[in-house]
Structure 1
């Protein structure tokens, strides 16, 4: 005799609500301050290495880091690994933790490096007007910053980093 044993249905997973725009912006500001400190440290490390290799007198005459594409790439990688590392291992940067926000896949699991890279690149699009409006078109610095912040708000309001990387930012319950 074969018995059909049907497992009782699992209760539905409690769906976390999506993080709102003010909370996302607050986490961005918090993480921006932390990233500034990390970039200062990374720059000091590169400058110290340049001084050790070239000598301090040569460094006083000409700073080899100014306009150096390798140095710019190094700082970009530092930024990516700052965000990507936090997103991959725990789903939260320190700013996101302070504002109870977590990044996750749509099924609730953790994200991978490719998703982190997509999020990082799409979220970084707001820097394009900041960097190039002034240099290429001669627009004032204030106006290019305003255009960049407008792009940031548009990116966040449309949730383009979430859509492009198939992730979501959720609001965690109070503990």
Structure 2
């Protein structure tokens, strides 16, 4: 079986990214509920850093497992697959590297705003601006891949829908 190595368009990849965020709401909700129950956390700000670390690990498990199998649920919907540079499935270690590197979507704007006491709206605008810049930077990659994919040795490709 040969996998076509056509890169999905930017709008399709971003639509998949937004849909992934919607699906992750349920994952984060259940993980947060589990953490709060097991740690007997009574107030939202208690154990905040432990909860963030726990969610980082839970999201890592979600993404590494699905990427090592080729697609997340959102990627299946949008017919996108993550593969190595050679077009083959990626290992769990490479998926873990992709997960860590994918935080470049979030960490730079959050670190940039952290010393300032900005309102939630201002933080959202700065983050959305960075997301747009980071997405547009994929236009400068030879295969139009996101740069964290290039650094991780992975790429997003169009995948044919599975026959029923």
What are the equivalent positions in structure 2 for 1:84-163 lying under 5 Å apart?
84-89=64-69, 91-157=70-136, 158=138, 159-163=146-150
Match of 1:76 in 2: 56
Over 3 Å counting, the alpha-carbon distance change for 1:37 and 1:130 in structure 2 is farther
Counterparts of 2:152 and 2:123, CA distance in 1: 27
Over 3 Å counting, the alpha-carbon distance change for 1:135 and 1:172 in structure 2 is same
- Give the TM-score taking structure 2 as reference length: 0.80
After superposition, the CA RMSD in angstroms is 2.3
Match of 1:166 in 2: 153
Match of 2:21 in 1: 32
Secondary structure of the corresponding residue to residue 17 of structure 1: coil
- Give the TM-score taking structure 1 as reference length: 0.76
Structure with max Cα Rg: 1
What are structure 2's unaligned runs of at least 5 residues? 139-145
Match of 2:142 in 1: none
Counterparts of 2:90 and 2:124, CA distance in 1: 31
Counterparts of 1:95 and 1:70, CA distance in 2: 28
